[in-house]
Amino acid sequence: MCPTLLSLLSLGFSVSLRIWAAVGEYEKPSLSAWPSPVVSLGQNVTLRCHSGPPFVIFRLFKRVGTSLHKIQEQHFNTFTLGPVTTEHAGSYTCSGGDWSRFVWSDVSDPLPIMVTGVSTKPSISAHPGPLVHAGENVTLRCHSSLLFETFILHKKSSTGHFQRHRETFTGGHARADFVIGPMTLASAGTYRCYGSLSRSPYEWSAPSDPVDIIITGQSKKPSLSAHGGPTVRSGENVTLVCSSSEIDFDQFHLLREGENLGRPLAAGRGPGGALQAEFPLGPGSPAHSGVYRCYGSFSHSPYSWSDSSDPLFLSVTGSTTSTRPSTMDAHTTEETQLPQEHSSTWYIVLGLSIAFTSTSIILAALVCHWCSTPNHVAIMDGEPMEDRTVNGEDSAAEDVVYAHLDLGTLSESQSTPAPLRPMHPSAEPIIYEEFNINQDHAEP
């Protein structure tokens, strides 16, 4: 009886060991992080241990050196870390078990959790540009004034990352170049750059600004045009239209000199039935001049664009002829639209001008009346006189006024009078004709 019992116990123990070993070998779970394994300081991250039955209990481990330290053990397969600090940075694994059978799986593959924001962000740039044809290469350059030990290039929605030691160049800056290619649809996406100091590979700097790497040439090109033509006056509204009659794109992108001009616009049906999107640029200015291109794409694949449209050369020159003031026509504005605060000054000037003109007319009339009296006009008897001069001693000379009289009304045969002589002594003989202005009918 006893030998039989011992045999059964031995058999059960060996079976349990086999089950444990089998489960540990074939039922290894997997560990994931949501929303990302790259977490900013102060944020939360959720770790999920994925495994099937019969596991009903889960453990989370963090690797410290060469050993694993158990962090949590619970009946749910999700673990929340946070608000994270630099102490949370590191490599994590998980395992599942059946508590009733004392069976535990093997640990999952390690998942690194990176904590960012421990230093200032680096910069990132794409060379020769962020738009790449299929099969070509693009170089992403990370650089910073901080001498990071390593630079890390991370792609959005990816658990993997690339890493490269720094390269120091003139000026004390550090940089690293990452070559992406040959370009495929899987290579396209949003990239950021991080820097890491030597004290911990899991503590990163703040992320750089994002750069979107787009693969182009996946479909036929759309067409680009401008309302009213590619040449407009400054101040006029500028609208560019990107359209396609062959492919049903659901969004369009507009670029100037290779620079993306913001979010894509949804496509709509144009007057001719083609899909199009209108890009209003607002009142035109010289800054709008340049070379424009547009692309078509589908919302379900935002990093895959069509071929580029033919370039559109937009020129904004001159000034608008509308009544709206513009900086290109300042003198016209000053003449046609006076400032309100100066209107009273113009009224005063206008009144003074009218008063001066009226006074001048009255004085002229008085002088004419004064000069027309017999005592102040030098009248000759009609015979020519020689060697008569006007000098300062002749009292009558001070009151002589030379008048141009039109004698056409007095005699039809009278010719046009000669121009008046200057009031100074002359060697030429002066001939005077006498008129009796007191008579009603004067005879020449």
CA distances from 236 to 225, 241, 273, 378 (A): 16, 16, 27, 72
Query: Are residues 371 and 436 located together in one domain of the fold?
Result: yes
- Total residues found in the chain within this entry: 444
Residue with the bigger pLDDT between 196 and 159: it is: 196
For residue 286, the domain's CATH number is 2.60.40.10
Query: Are residues 195 and 245 located together in one domain of the fold?
Result: no
Query: Are residues 255 and 287 located together in one domain of the fold?
Result: yes
324: in domain: no
272: in domain: yes
Residue by residue, DSSP assigns 144-177 as ESS--SEEEEEETT-S-EEEEE-EEETTTEEEEE
Please, what is the average pLDDT of the chain?
Answer: 76
Q: What's the confidence (pLDDT) of residue 393?
A: 40
Closest CA to 280 of 314, 241, 228, 319: 241
322: in domain: no
342: in domain: no
In angstroms, rounded to a whole number, what is the distance separating the alpha carbons of residues 414 and 113? 119
Give me the mean pLDDT over the 94-101 stretch.
Answer: 81
350: in domain: no
Residue with the bigger pLDDT between 406 and 128: it is: 128
CB distance 138 to 183 below 8 Å = yes
The band of 334, judged by pLDDT with boundaries at 50, 70 and 90, is very low
Q: What's the confidence (pLDDT) of residue 439?
A: 43
Query: Are residues 209 and 231 located together in one domain of the fold?
Result: no
Total tally of structural domains belonging to the chain = 4
Query: Are residues 381 and 405 located together in one domain of the fold?
Result: yes
Peptide bond connecting 128 to the previous residue in cis, omega within 30 degrees of 0 = yes
Domain hosting residue 262, numbered range: 223-298+308-317
Closest CA to 266 of 242, 246, 247: 242
374: in domain: yes
Query: Are residues 227 and 267 located together in one domain of the fold?
Result: yes
Q: What's the confidence (pLDDT) of residue 211?
A: 96
- pLDDT beyond 80 at 372: no
pTM of the model as a whole: 0.61
Q: What's the confidence (pLDDT) of residue 424?
A: 43
Give me the mean pLDDT over the 1-21 stretch.
Answer: 48
CA distances from 3 to 8, 10, 16, 415 (A): 9, 10, 20, 168
Query: Are residues 172 and 233 located together in one domain of the fold?
Result: no
In the block, which residue shows the tokens 């009213």? 228
CA angle 152, 197, 161 (to 5 degrees): 15
In angstroms, rounded to a whole number, what is the distance separating the alpha carbons of residues 376 and 379? 9
Give me the mean pLDDT over the 42-60 stretch.
Answer: 89
337: in domain: no
Query: Are residues 133 and 95 located together in one domain of the fold?
Result: no
Task: Select from 182, 216, 250 the last residue of a domain.
Answer: 216
Q: For residue range 190-225, list pLDDT tens digits in order.
A: 999 999 987 788 999 999 999 999 999 989 999 999
Query: Are residues 385 and 442 located together in one domain of the fold?
Result: yes
11: in domain: no
Query: Are residues 212 and 227 located together in one domain of the fold?
Result: no
Query: Are residues 192 and 138 located together in one domain of the fold?
Result: yes
Task: Select from 185, 216, 247 the last residue of a domain.
Answer: 216
Query: Are residues 293 and 375 located together in one domain of the fold?
Result: no
Question: By CB neighbour count within 10 A (0-12 exposed, 13-18 middle, 19+ buried), where does 307 fall?
Answer: middle
CB distance 276 to 268 below 8 Å = yes
Task: Select from 99, 115, 131 the last residue of a domain.
Answer: 115
Convert 314-340 to b/e letters by CB count within 10 Å (16 or more is b). Answer: bebebebeeeeebebbeeeeeeeeeee
Q: Which tokens belong to 62?
A: 């963090």
Count helices and strands in the chain by DSSP H and E runs: 3, 29
